C-alpha cells in the first residue's frame, strides 16, 4: 500500500451546468483508467462552488425563456440540448431538459454540498443533485428538493432543512467561489490537481487521466 498522501482533486462546478454532469462521469472513468495503470494511486475529491449564473434571482426564474434569450432562438437551444444528450447518453446520463421549469439559484445547493463535505464524501450528493436537475427536472434551489436528495444519501432531512433555513456557510461558499475565480477559473467544470495543475472543461477521460497521472507523479516524487 502507498504511504503517499492522496492526490487532492478539486472539482469546480455548478449543479445547473450540464457539462459539469458530463465532467463528473468522465472524471470517474479517468480515475478508473489511472487505477488500472497505477495500482498504488490514491485520491480525494473535493467539490468547489461556481455560480454559472450569479445574477439568478433567489427564487429562480423560468428556465427556457432565459435560454432562448441567451442563445437567440428556441431552435438554437434545442440544438444545444441535443448535442449534450448525445454526449451524455454513453455516460449513462438521460438528459430531460424539457422537464426543467426553473433556472435555480444554486447558493443553497452549494451550501449543502459544503455541509455534506464536512461530514464525509459528498460525491453521492453531487450526483443526486445533477440527476434531480437534469433527469428529473426538479428545482435544485428549493430546500425541500435539496432535503430529499440529501435524505437519499443518508442525511437527516429535518437537519438539512434547519440548516438551509439559516445563512450558515453562505459567506464561506461565496468566498470559495471568488477564490476559484482568482485562480483563473472562468468556466466549469474545472479540475485542479494538488493546487499545482488543472484542466478546464469536460475533457475526454484519457485527457483527464493524463493530467491526473502527471500530478500523481509530482506527489510521489
Residues 6+ away with beta carbon under 8 Å from 203: 23, 26
> Could you tell me the fold of the domain covering 7-216?
Glutaredoxin (3.40.30)
Q: Is the pLDDT of residue 3 over 90?
A: no
pLDDT, tens digit (0-9, with 9 covering 90-100), for 90-130: 999 999 999 999 999 999 999 999 999 999 999 999 999 99
The pTM (predicted TM-score) of the whole model is 0.96
Chain segment 161-207, per-residue pLDDT in tens: 999 999 999 999 999 999 999 999 999 999 999 999 999 999 999 99
* Interatomic CA distance for residues 189 and 24, integer angstroms: 8
pLDDT band at 4 (very low <50, low <70, confident <90, very high): confident
Sequence spans of domains, the chain? 7-216
Q: What is the pLDDT of residue 70?
A: 94
The CA-to-CA distance between both ends of the chain, in Å, stands at: 16
Using DSSP, state whether 12 is helix, strand or coil: strand
Amino acid at each position: 500500500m502507498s504511504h503517499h498522501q492522496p492526490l487532492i482533486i478539486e472539482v469546480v462546478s455548478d449543479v445547473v451546468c450540464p457539462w459539469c454532469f458530463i465532467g463528473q462521469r468522465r472524471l470517474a472513468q479517468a480515475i478508473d483508467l489511472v487505477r488500472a495503470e497505477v495500482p498504488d494511486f490514491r485520491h480525494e475529491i473535493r467539490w468547489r462552488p461556481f455560480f454559472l449564473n450569479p445574477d439568478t434571482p433567489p427564487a429562480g426564474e423560468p428556465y427556457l425563456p432565459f435560454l432562448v434569450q441567451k442563445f437567440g432562438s428556441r431552435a438554437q437551444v434545442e440544438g444545444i440540448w441535443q448535442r449534450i444528450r448525445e454526449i451524455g447518453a454513453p455516460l449513462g446520463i438521460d438528459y430531460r431538459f424539457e422537464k426543467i421549469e426553473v433556472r435555480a439559484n444554486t447558493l443553497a445547493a452549494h451550501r449543502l454540498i459544503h455541509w455534506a463535505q464536512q461530514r464525509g464524501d459528498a460525491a453521492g450528493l453531487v450526483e443526486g443533485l445533477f440527476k434531480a436537475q437534469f433527469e428529473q427536472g426538479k428545482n435544485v434551489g428549493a430546500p425541500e428538493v435539496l432535503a430529499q436528495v440529501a435524505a437519499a444519501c443518508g442525511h437527516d432531512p429535518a437537519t438539512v432543512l434547519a440548516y438551509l433555513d439559516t445563512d450558515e456557510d453562505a459567506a464561506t461558499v461565496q468566498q470559495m467561489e471568488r477564490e476559484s475565480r482568482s485562480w483563473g477559473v472562468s468556466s466549469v467544470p474545472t479540475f485542479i490537481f494538488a493546487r499545482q495543475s488543472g484542466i478546464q472543461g469536460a475533457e475526454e477521460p484519457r485527457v483527464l487521466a493524463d493530467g491526473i497521472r502527471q500530478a500523481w507523479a509530482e506527489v510521489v516524487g
